[in-house]
């Protein structure tokens, strides 16, 4: 997975440079094979950087370091200090005591950076679930486009023997998986 704001910014700026200087670089006729690979993929590099910046904001990652834009919704109040009986124990923030304000507006709440035992488990799980939902949405969009393509070319054989099996396969396996992920987010909480 590539979702880091810092790395995305570097790719975005490099892709933007190649796109803005496109005419000048084409006129220079540079025959270097590696340069030609980068130059041919300039729009892909540009968009990869742009979307990596977006996912970097969602994951709160800049060069693999988390950042705090909006402040956390969690805090250790005086009531929490009375709640803990042993200072040697691991820090746990019970939601009914430590959670006070609305959810973090965009991305992952920075309080997860303090979690010692399950930070990596939570963040990796959240990232993979988001990636699965995003990827399956793209596949469903591609299958929907294929239907309109088949209908436009009046290829009813392809609709019956390509489009319909793809929809059945995608629905039975992957859409079910997405529904399970969303159901877990909606119906299971910490209580």
Q: Convert the pLDDT of each residue in 25-42 to its tens digit.
A: 888 888 889 999 999 999
142 and 87 housed in the same domain: no
109 and 171 housed in the same domain: no
56 and 24 housed in the same domain: yes
> CA angle 72-60-7, nearest 5°?
160
- pLDDT digits 0-9 by tens, 151-190: 999 999 999 999 999 999 998 988 888 888 888 888 876 5
59 and 12 housed in the same domain: yes
How many domains does the chain divide into? Answer: 3
- Closest among 9, 112, 12 to 60, alpha carbons compared: 112
Quick check: 142 pLDDT over 80? yes
143 and 167 housed in the same domain: yes
Give the rounded percent of residues in the chain with a pLDDT score beyond 90. Answer: 39
92 and 51 housed in the same domain: no
108 and 151 housed in the same domain: no
Contact 2, 48 (CB under 8 A): yes
Q: Report the predicted TM-score, pTM, of the whole model to 2 decimal places.
A: 0.68
Range of the domain at 140: 118-191
93 and 133 housed in the same domain: no
Q: What are phi and psi of 65, to 5 degrees?
A: -115, 135
190 and 134 housed in the same domain: yes
Which residue, 25, 49, 66, sits at the end of a domain? Answer: 66
Q: Residue 190's pLDDT is what?
A: 59
169 and 109 housed in the same domain: no
Length of the chain counted residue by residue = 191
145 and 161 housed in the same domain: yes
22 and 37 housed in the same domain: yes
């Amino acid at each position: 997975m590539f979702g880091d704001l810092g790395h995305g910014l570097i790719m975005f700026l490099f892709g933007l440079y190649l796109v803005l200087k496109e005419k000048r670089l084409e006129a220079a006729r540079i025959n270097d094979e590696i340069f030609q690979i980068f130059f041919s993929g300039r729009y892909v590099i540009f968009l990869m950087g742009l979307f990596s910046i977006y996912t970097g904001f969602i994951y709160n990652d800049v060069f693999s370091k988390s950042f705090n834009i909006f402040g956390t919704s969690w805090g250790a109040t005086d009531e929490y200090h009375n709640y803990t009986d042993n200072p040697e124990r691991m820090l746990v923030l019970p939601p009914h005591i430590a959670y006070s304000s609305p959810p973090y507006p965009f991305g992952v709440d920075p309080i997860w950076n303090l979690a010692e035992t399950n930070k990596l488990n939570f963040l990796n799980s959240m990232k993979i679930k988001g990636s699965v939902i995003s990827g399956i949405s793209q596949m469903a969009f591609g299958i929907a486009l294929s239907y309109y393509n088949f209908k436009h070319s009046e290829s009813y054989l392809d609709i019956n023997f390509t489009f319909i099996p793809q929809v059945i396969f995608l629905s039975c396996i992957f859409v079910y998986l997405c529904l399970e992920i969303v159901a877990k987010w909606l119906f299971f909480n910490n209580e």
